[in-house]
Structure 1
Amino acid sequence: MIQRLQPRRSPPFCVLAALSPIAAFLPAAAAEPVPPAREIFAPYPQQYPVNAYRSASGAPGPMYWQNRADYRIRATLLTATRSLSGDETIRYTNNSPDALDALWVQLDQNIYRANARAATVSRYFGRQHTEGDVIEAVSVQEGGRDIPAAFVVSDTRMRVALSQPLAPHGGHIALHIRWHYAVPGPWGGRTAVTPTRNGDIWEIAQWFPRMAVYDDLRGWDTLPYLGNEFYLEYGDIDYRVTVPTNFIVAGSGALQNPDEVLSMVERQRLARAGRSDRTIMIRTADEVKADAAAAPPSTTRTWHFLMHDTRDVAFAASPAFVWDAAHMHLPDIGGQPRLAMSVYPVEAAQDGRWSRSTEYVRAAIEYFSGKWYPYPWPNAINMAGHGANMEYPAIVFDGIADAGKKLYWVTTHEIGHTWFPMIVGSNERRAAFMDEGFNTFIDTYASDDFNHGEYAPKRDSEYAPGGGNPVEEIVPLLRQPDAPTILDEADLVPYRWSHTVQYFKAALGLRLLREQILGPQRFDLAFRRYIALWAYRHPSPSDFFRTMDSEGGEDLSWFWRGWFANNWPLDFGVSSIDDKAGTVTLVSKGGLVMPATLRIDYADGSSRRMRLPAELWQQGSPVTVGVAGAARIVGVTIDPDHVLPDVDRSDNMLIRPIQPAATAPTPAEGH
């Protein structure tokens, strides 16, 4: 998701996660003392220990386990009462070594209750309210019968007591829940009803009770939902949605009954799109307007979707949808071509605003699939609505008014979340950088790649004065000793810092790791390995750090400590030149160190560059480096290309004046 730095819409869901920090506007703070070298370079103490579940190499351990949740859901959209009702069965499999005497379920709709914790601690969820999830019945299947189960709702969680413990190592149970809730208006953000001239758009996300995660790190992870997204189990989700007959439903997963819900013309157009590199209209703006002029139907129909190996599903439904699609150059699934699709109201089609949306979806998925890891699902959808700018598996919610560069950037960012956290299932509620930062990192390169750099570089000029060098834009943050760190838990990061730290600094850290520390070849191999190891699993920050160390071939303790665990500044300088000894003296005045380039200029006009490793500073500062050449040294510059986030460049260059050659004295004039 993207967070707007100064949101024009509520809530703080997803924005253009570009490299442009709000910290650029903050005043400088007093510097902290420089830590000693033995602290900077000490082995990094990982948060989570190595054990049989998680290996020292960063890979899942030989006894790694993960529970599973499969869902069957029947839901009905009741437009007259603006509500959604559902009946679901969760088949929960306990692969842990522990017997479970209760189950915990997430009820995200309760964030809209007046007494929700988020109503007081969040600036976005205390404005308008609903009753949240109304739980009508909870039961557990025993002996082929539904037995009512005792349950307790606490904020956005529900504890369901079991009459007997659920067995470990593969024990399974069927949990049945019947529920309904009022769908918020546009203020709801992640689930909303948005009016358009040809009908309402129903944006339905975080809509059904979902299992909390039980893992090897902390057992049940029951953080209340305060707005910082998800941590969910994987499984198959089979869901049916009943809507008025004139609605189009765009949902996560593969549509199972196209013959029942699509016209013959729509099916024929979809078949053409499956063979087309060009975007094909499935439902045109003229058809939407013609349908809107007809009397509303009194009948309904049910759309049936199935999605495999997913953490979640979402859908959007409306009579107002224009619909287009194009083929994605990916291997077919079950003999069926893969489709990039967009649904949007007529308003979004005006002035060509959304006419390229499907092109953007297709380009992003093809690029990320080729660069990092294959896209796993049959289709991908971009939906124009309220503009929550929010990601879900195989469908993303963006804004009707988005267009051009902004639409490309937000689409690519939200689609990029397919990889983090939809495939690599990190815990967004605790370690937001593992989805927002990693995703911002990969979509900066996607912008460089798209259409020969049409929208490159990825910037957010609205918040970046001058739209300058990103390593210089991070400097004001590094000057703030009281700023939160990347590793701070998501709910503990004040909103004014969240974009800067979780998106920008984390993404810039990976760019520095790729371009300045490991190099693209080593980094790309290690990062791909991390994704492959943890696809459809639950990595911790320690698993990521260990994988990059092991696969990248470096002990990066100094980098994890300086950039991720602390907010230490980098401050290199050149203090002196000894021409006789052919040496220069360098200083490091911050806790962060990095490999750096040193340029030496000589009196004969020549120059050379030296690459200085981070280990140069293992014995402390200052250090002396030999730079003798054939001619006298006249200048030395550290980081001449400004690729490092040096907080004070005033001493990065030392120039010695070139003395003129001696000349013979002029004879005195006679008298």
Structure 2
Amino acid sequence: MRLITLVLLSLSISVLHAQSHNPGSNHANRFEELDYLLQSPSEYRTASGAPGPKYWQQRADYNIAVELDEPNNRITGTETITYFNNSPDVLSYVWLQLDENFHNPQADVNRDNTGKMQDRMTNQQLDALEPWRRLDGYGINLTRVVNAAGKALKYTIVKTMMRIDLPEALKPGQQFVFTIDWNYKVPDKLTRYGRGGYEYFAEDDNNLYSIAQFYPRMAVYSDFKGWQHLQFRSGAEFALNFGNFNLKITVPADHVVAATGECLNYKEMMTAKEYERWQSAQTAKDIVEIVTLDEALKKSKTKSSEKKTWIFKADNVRDVAFNTSRRLVWDAMPVFVEGKKVMCMSYYGKEAYPIYRKYSTKATAHTIKTYSKYTIPYPYPVAQSVEAAIGMEYPMLAMNPGRAAPDGSYTEAAKYSCIGVTIHEVGHNFFPMIVNSDERQWWWMDEGLNTFCQFLTEREFDADYPSTRGPAHLITDYMRLPKNELEPIMTKGDAVSKVGSNAYAKAATGLNILRETILGRELFDFGFQEYAKRWAFKHPTPADLFRTLEDATGVDLDWFWRGWYFGTDPVDIAIDSVKVFKVDDALTPTPGGVAVYNDINRLRNKDDKSIQFYVDADTTLRDFYYYNRGADAAYTIEQANKQKDDAYKADIDKDNLAKWKDKYFYELQFSNKGGLVMPIILEWTFKDGTKQVDKIPVTVWLLNEEKVSKVFIKDKEVASVKLDPNRETADVNEANGQWPVKEMPTKFSLFRQTTTGFTGPGAGQTVAPPTNAMQRAKQKNP
């Protein structure tokens, strides 16, 4: 990812260091203002982080008609694009994205991969050495590119990008209308990786089609970047314009289609019974099956030779996609956001029915409501979830995993994969489908912000939801990696080596730390919502986010952006020493109890009476794992404590004995071993068993970023001190944050050799072992 401002590229190293650091000093580095790293304020983007009085963005409207050739797995399409030049610039050419060309054998991603030979190689490993060998015939084919008058346009294809040279310059305020016809061979998405493609189900000889990035799309031209024409490498995703879409999809007549937008001809596409159910779903209090499982199973056994054309309309969206198959169950229920109805719908095959029927649509509804609370009200009329084996997002349409075992049981992991990924992908409607950042350049701006909101939504689904991204302590393994395995969050998308840890988890965790620890919930929520309001249906940059949060909260956060987003230093604050003083005697402390950890979000959510957890409001969401949490993986936690007493003596002014004789003075020396400054949070455990928490602002490090000393005056004798008791600052070394010092045990697990089966009930009878705890419970209680 390129840094936000081009000014950086022209600065020499010496000038950069002179501007950004205080070499050789222990202060004035980490708290320096960020401004030189951000683009300069302008009439387009203000210093407050809001759109400026002359803010502009381009727009593209599309009329698209596509047809699926099911026997040959081919898409044929035509589109007419109306491109509006709202910029102050004269354009002599325009750029489009041909993302399906990522499957072309000549695409960079199919040629620049790395690999090594091993002593034992599988066919899949050999294929991966030169992916282009399996891609002959793939990629997009353009058959016509003409202007509104039907005259051929000159164009140049540069791998996954396409430049059209305009016959006349496109001036500010003008629009350009042109038509493109194209076709391509649909890839098997599980063997030729891609967000779009088909999945084949051999048991009923049917495909599920996930058709995405399927049409030539206008690239973004912006005030901060100009043309965004970075190549699509299948990783960092998309930068797109808003516009109005009309989409016609021709498929076999027995298919069900889920697509971006509102369907304008449901009545013609459905049977009379299905349409009746659709109408009843509009006011239903619970899920209604539009197409039942029995009906989907019957359709999967026969294939219609007829075709139907589904018509969808989507206004003010940045993209469209669709799924289609004859083997799908379809259910729906409404949810209301500020009085406006949103139809939440799910589509899934029989293998996903046990999980999806219970969770998908309700997780979708919960997501829409919760994200709307923390950002802006959901503006679209529908929100859809399709079980399609992978997680991917499009406006009003999410593709998610969620399959059960053949006997209908499922693992705890499968349950939470369905719920969590559905929340995540449906949540993408807000970031980046509405707050429309440039994913190709700043991957974290959509994934990190969305993962943060996913965390909030999971924890309001169930207070004890096992969220894996968001809690600060879960990012520490990543942050303690060697520096050569890390990169700043502010790194160009495709240059990030551990995307899940960096762009998703670390970026989301940073926002959670801001909310729970640095700003507090009230301030943060106000600032975050202000950002969403300002940049809804616009193109924000990181600078707009950083500046808006500071502008709305009134708190200088440059130190945090610099350390957490621009740097790779971890948090590692150590208690170097504790000196204890009393007026007339020496104090020898003894160790106290260890604080019980419960992450800060869970604690506060349980205390927040305004939150009604979804699993409490709707008890049908409770299943085996609700009452048996962690049944698939029980963990044992062992901690060996070694305690060491330190005694310190000091003289105190005897004249003030009466004033101070009952006080305890604790002088603590802290060091910043990790490099990333953070507030110092201390939990004091007194000898009478009571506890107290002190929170020292991050500015304690302002004049010395390496070591600080602070004295605390207590009314009671202290037994122990612990840094960051709720593990909310992502400190990578808890062992050096305790007094008296406690050794942190190194653990290992001892496994015994297992067999492939087990002896079941009945003499000599061997049956397959259960693959999940739900199956085990059924065997014990048939």
**3-state SS of 1:148 partner:** coil
Residue equivalent to 2:118:
none
Q: Please, which runs of 5 or more residues in structure 1 have no aligned partner?
A: 1-32, 461-467, 658-671
**8 A Cα contact 1:475 1:646, kept in partner:** no
1:591 aligns with 2:594: no
Residue equivalent to 1:612:
696
Of 514-523 and 615-624, more deviation after overlay is shown by: 615-624
Alignment of 1:273-352 (within 5 A): 273-294=281-302, 296-330=303-337, 337-349=341-353, 351-352=354-355
| Per-residue deviation, residues 217-246 of structure 1 (Å, max 9, x unmatched) | 121110000112110000011110111111
**8 A Cα contact 1:274 1:338, kept in partner:** no
1:564 aligns with 2:565: yes
**3-state SS of 2:111 partner:** helix
Instruction: State the Cα distance separating 1:38 from its structure 2 match.
Output: 0.9
Residue equivalent to 1:172:
175
Instruction: State the Cα distance separating 1:438 from its structure 2 match.
Output: 1.0
Instruction: State the Cα distance separating 1:147 from its structure 2 match.
Output: 1.8
**3-state SS of 1:288 partner:** helix
Instruction: State the Cα distance separating 1:472 from its structure 2 match.
Output: 5.2
Residue equivalent to 1:26:
none
**3-state SS of 2:433 partner:** helix
**8 A Cα contact 2:571 2:677, kept in partner:** yes
Residue equivalent to 1:42:
32
Aligned-partner residue type, residue 210 of structure 1: R
Aligned CA distance change for structure 1 residues 571 and 87 (closer, same or farther; 3 Å): same
Instruction: State the Cα distance separating 1:359 from its structure 2 match.
Output: 1.5
**3-state SS of 2:529 partner:** helix
Instruction: State the Cα distance separating 1:444 from its structure 2 match.
Output: 1.1
**8 A Cα contact 2:435 2:532, kept in partner:** yes
The whole-number CA distance in structure 2 between the counterparts of 1:553 and 1:478 is 32
**8 A Cα contact 2:489 2:566, kept in partner:** yes
**3-state SS of 2:143 partner:** strand
Alignment of 1:52-201 (within 5 A): 52-121=43-112, 126=132, 128-129=134-135, 130-141=137-148, 145-168=149-172, 170-186=173-189, 187=191, 188-196=193-201, 197-198=203-204, 199-201=206-208
Residue equivalent to 2:734:
649
| Per-residue deviation, residues 308-340 of structure 1 (Å, max 9, x unmatched) | 11010100111111111111123566xxx4211
Of 226-235 and 628-637, more deviation after overlay is shown by: 628-637
Residue equivalent to 1:371:
374
1:627 aligns with 2:734: no
Instruction: State the Cα distance separating 1:268 from its structure 2 match.
Output: 1.2
Aligned-partner residue type, residue 153 of structure 1: I
**3-state SS of 2:92 partner:** strand
TM-score by length of 2: 0.74
1:433 aligns with 2:419: no
Residue equivalent to 1:401:
403
| Per-residue deviation, residues 97-139 of structure 1 (Å, max 9, x unmatched) | 1010011010011000111111123588657324311000111
The whole-number CA distance in structure 2 between the counterparts of 1:213 and 1:356 is 37
1:203 aligns with 2:210: yes
Aligned CA distance change for structure 1 residues 175 and 607 (closer, same or farther; 3 Å): same
Aligned residues between the structures: 604
**8 A Cα contact 2:101 2:159, kept in partner:** yes
Aligned-partner residue type, residue 418 of structure 2: L
Instruction: State the Cα distance separating 1:604 from its structure 2 match.
Output: 7.0
Instruction: State the Cα distance separating 1:633 from its structure 2 match.
Output: 5.7
| Per-residue deviation, residues 449-490 of structure 1 (Å, max 9, x unmatched) | 11x43x603138xxxxxxx97425424424422211100111
Instruction: State the Cα distance separating 1:493 from its structure 2 match.
Output: 1.0
Instruction: State the Cα distance separating 1:178 from its structure 2 match.
Output: 0.7
The whole-number CA distance in structure 1 between the counterparts of 2:400 and 2:447 is 16
Aligned CA distance change for structure 1 residues 393 and 355 (closer, same or farther; 3 Å): same
Counterpart selection for 2:254 from 230, 246, 249: 246
The whole-number CA distance in structure 1 between the counterparts of 2:491 and 2:523 is 28
**8 A Cα contact 1:229 1:428, kept in partner:** yes
Aligned-partner residue type, residue 416 of structure 1: G
**8 A Cα contact 1:344 1:400, kept in partner:** no
The whole-number CA distance in structure 2 between the counterparts of 1:338 and 1:557 is 39
Of 503-512 and 182-191, more deviation after overlay is shown by: 182-191
**8 A Cα contact 1:194 1:200, kept in partner:** yes
**8 A Cα contact 1:234 1:536, kept in partner:** yes
**8 A Cα contact 2:471 2:512, kept in partner:** no
**3-state SS of 1:628 partner:** strand
The whole-number CA distance in structure 2 between the counterparts of 1:35 and 1:318 is 65
The whole-number CA distance in structure 2 between the counterparts of 1:573 and 1:331 is 48
**3-state SS of 2:468 partner:** coil
**8 A Cα contact 1:118 1:126, kept in partner:** no
| Per-residue deviation, residues 10-46 of structure 1 (Å, max 9, x unmatched) | xxxxxxxxxxxxxxxxxxxxxxx99832111111133
Residue equivalent to 1:515:
516
Residue equivalent to 2:555:
554
**8 A Cα contact 2:26 2:703, kept in partner:** no
The whole-number CA distance in structure 1 between the counterparts of 2:33 and 2:253 is 63
| Per-residue deviation, residues 410-440 of structure 1 (Å, max 9, x unmatched) | 1111111111111110111111111111111
Residue equivalent to 2:228:
221
**8 A Cα contact 2:338 2:377, kept in partner:** no
Aligned-partner residue type, residue 417 of structure 1: H
Instruction: State the Cα distance separating 1:384 from its structure 2 match.
Output: 1.6
**8 A Cα contact 2:60 2:242, kept in partner:** yes
Instruction: State the Cα distance separating 1:625 from its structure 2 match.
Output: 1.8
**8 A Cα contact 1:634 1:656, kept in partner:** no
**3-state SS of 2:527 partner:** helix
Instruction: State the Cα distance separating 1:371 from its structure 2 match.
Output: 2.8
The whole-number CA distance in structure 1 between the counterparts of 2:369 and 2:568 is 35
**8 A Cα contact 2:402 2:418, kept in partner:** no
Aligned-partner residue type, residue 443 of structure 1: Q
Aligned-partner residue type, residue 397 of structure 1: M
Residue equivalent to 1:539:
540
Aligned CA distance change for structure 1 residues 127 and 377 (closer, same or farther; 3 Å): farther
Residue equivalent to 2:579:
577
**8 A Cα contact 2:472 2:512, kept in partner:** no
Aligned-partner residue type, residue 151 of structure 1: Y
Instruction: State the Cα distance separating 1:389 from its structure 2 match.
Output: 1.0
The whole-number CA distance in structure 2 between the counterparts of 1:627 and 1:270 is 66
Q: Please, which runs of 5 or more residues in structure 2 have no aligned partner?
A: 1-22, 115-127, 405-413, 582-649, 653-664, 743-782
The whole-number CA distance in structure 2 between the counterparts of 1:77 and 1:157 is 24
**3-state SS of 1:184 partner:** coil
Instruction: State the Cα distance separating 1:175 from its structure 2 match.
Output: 1.6
Aligned CA distance change for structure 1 residues 204 and 34 (closer, same or farther; 3 Å): farther
Aligned-partner residue type, residue 481 of structure 1: K
Residue equivalent to 1:662:
none
1:457 aligns with 2:448: no
Instruction: State the Cα distance separating 1:72 from its structure 2 match.
Output: 0.3
Aligned-partner residue type, residue 589 of structure 1: K
Alignment of 1:375-394 (within 5 A): 375-385=378-388, 387-394=389-396
The whole-number CA distance in structure 1 between the counterparts of 2:741 and 2:79 is 77
Residue equivalent to 1:51:
42
Instruction: State the Cα distance separating 1:396 from its structure 2 match.
Output: 1.1
**8 A Cα contact 1:112 1:128, kept in partner:** no
